[in-house]
Structure 1
Amino acid sequence: MKSILVIHPYFGRFPKMFPFWLESCKLNKTVDILIVTNQDIQSDSDNIIIKKSSLTQVKSELEAICGMNIWLEKPYKLCDFRPLFGKLFSEYTQKYDFWGYCDCDLVFGDIRHFLTEEVLNNHDYILGWGHFHVQRTIDSKFDEVWRTARGLWRNIGWKDVFASGQNEWFDELPYGVAGRYYGLYPDRCWMGYTDNHAIFESPALSQLPFQSLFNDYTLWKSWSCYQDHLNRLPFLKRNEGGDLHHIIYQKEGIHLFTIGINQENRIEKREILYAHFYKRNLDIRISNKSIFIIRPNAIVDCTHLSKYILMYYAHHPSIYWENILYRINRKLGTLKKKYLK
């Protein structure tokens, strides 16, 4: 079995759904997780590795690797330096066949169910949207790739990306290092698309019910990040059909499922690699971290899902009420700034 290390640096207070992410990591016992943090955290799981550090220390080490001064005043900027994590944490990564990184505003399913030995044997660069990614540790092509990649929002090279005070999404598709790797070596990439859908879910914050830009055809058609790059990134192409609607997610031990209504108006359950929530504010209403349901604004206990209950969860009235309150508070905040200057 090919060994995998997933690296997650996090400086500052952990988000409230962090324990659910951590538990989903623990359940994947054959995948090691390196958490680099300035927080006090303990784990009794053999596959969780804790490294105490600071943002200042990481900045100094990255500057030594880059040979230049970099901008790293806020932890979120670390995303732009993800392509260098293999070197930054080489004392760990050199012991593994693959290394990668992920966000912690997500819940993993069974990683090995999707990252099979066949996938790992035949590819060097796997996934690429930034939520979760792994790549081969010994890869002579990679220096050429990241040094010739560009930022996502602007056509700037790595030196300008690393000196920039804003996040340039240097690691992510449709440009970034992921897009560059695919452009140079498409046969060595596996981006997690199969059967006309992505193997992961990432419901957009702008959609109150769960709708993933990666798996909802209506959203996909109107999303320029897909449509503007179909010729350059043909794996993004898809056909209409097979989508699920009125979606929730269900965690059952190591496994994670999308559950929704299919085109035949029946409940359908599909196993997925992960669900990513874009810092969505989920109300935590349970203590069991391995068996639960995630509805669009809460993590709740599992229950038998009839079609009526599924629809109720997927469009829970509190979702819309909370959104109204959010908009009111945001408007009041704007007015306060305007008239109390």
Structure 2
Amino acid sequence: LKGYDYWGFCDTDVLLGDIYQFLEEHSFFENDYSRYGLLGHLQIFKNSQEVNHIFMSGQGLNYRLDFHNIFTSEQNFIFDEADGIQKIFEKNNFKQLQDKFFDDIDISHFSFREYGENEPKRYYFWSEENGLESINLIDGNIKVNRPLYAHFQKRVIKCPEFRLVDSFYVIPNQLVIGEKISKEELLEVTRNKFYWAYVKSTILKKFKKEKWTLEFIRHKLRMKS
């Protein structure tokens, strides 16, 4: 990380916009925030000795914040989210940019909708010029939003053979190289339908047995304490 002012990580099922421009627009650098990140999809940290070692300050607070437990266990602590690193930053009074600037797509529907939305008509367009755009058809009119990123929740999206391009768009469930599409095309490609892939994955999860070992049970109880 030497030579960089900030560092971060993200999930592999996200489509990113122009991160630097977005952070500038929200005065991230001007306000000297130590961290951006509401959930584990994307996290950005100030590259300083104090920030980079803050994870150690959870030692002795409780089971799920003590890095010794996290580093020595195969269980999931969700340490990079609200009940983990975020609480540690709060306890140390570090400034964080915490608003929801992203689209979190509900995997249980074929169409691209956030949780709680009802039958949206949406697709995503990415360009070298403008970054990520959420294209929505509302009451017959096109409305464009610019989220920091879109999180597709492990959704399988068919992609063409990779090559460098200036623009592409993403529809359920395919990435297409090209320019923005018409209202008529938008209506057609965003039509919701029976989502067999989700049903199949849900059924397979039902049959997947959790390792109910004594250590796993102890872990669950400690996480609740």
Query: How would you bin the TM-score normalised by the shorter chain?
Result: 0.7 to 0.9
Q: Distance in 2 between matches of 1:328 and 1:162?
A: 30
Say how many residue pairs are matched.
202
- Give the aligned partner of residue 269 of structure 1: 144
2:69 is the counterpart of 1:160: yes
Q: Which has the higher contact order (CA 8 A, sep 6+)?
A: 2
2:47 is the counterpart of 1:137: yes
Distance 1:207 1:180, change over 3 A: farther
Secondary structure of 1:121 counterpart: coil
Could you tell me which runs of 5 or more consecutive residues in structure 1 were left unpaired when the two chains were aligned.
Answer: 1-92, 220-242, 335-341
Match of 1:100 among 8, 12, 18: 8
- Give the aligned partner of residue 125 of structure 1: 35
Secondary structure of 2:86 counterpart: helix
Letter in 2 for 1:267: I
- Report 1:1-341 matches (<5 A): 93-116=1-24, 118-122=27-31, 123-140=33-50, 143-148=53-58, 155=64, 157-172=66-81, 174-185=82-93, 188-191=95-98, 193=99, 198-213=100-115, 218=116, 245-253=120-128, 255-262=131-138, 264-285=139-160, 287=162, 289-290=164-165, 291-315=167-191, 317=193, 320=195, 322-323=197-198, 326=200, 330=204
Secondary structure of 1:116 counterpart: helix
Cα deviation digits, residues 256-295 of structure 1 (max 9, x gap): 1111133x54221112222222321111246555421111
Give the deviation of 1:133 after TM superposition. 1.4
Secondary structure of 1:181 counterpart: helix
Cα pair 2:54 2:88 within 8 Å, conserved: no
Distance 1:179 1:146, change over 3 A: same
Letter in 1 for 2:106: A
- Give the aligned partner of residue 51 of structure 1: none
Cα deviation digits, residues 129-172 of structure 1 (max 9, x gap): 22221111125255345431799xx7452211222212211111
TM-score by length of 2: 0.73
Identical-pair percentage: 24
Supply the RMSD in Å over aligned alpha carbons: 3.4
Cα deviation digits, residues 200-228 of structure 1 (max 9, x gap): 22313223321234xxxx36xxxxxxxxx
Q: Distance in 2 between matches of 1:126 and 1:170?
A: 15
Letter in 1 for 2:134: T
Name the one with the larger helix percent: 1
Could you tell me which runs of 5 or more consecutive residues in structure 2 were left unpaired when the two chains were aligned.
Answer: 208-225
Cα pair 2:107 2:198 within 8 Å, conserved: no
Secondary structure of 1:245 counterpart: coil
Q: Distance in 1 between matches of 2:113 and 2:105?
A: 5
Q: Distance in 2 between matches of 1:125 and 1:328?
A: 34
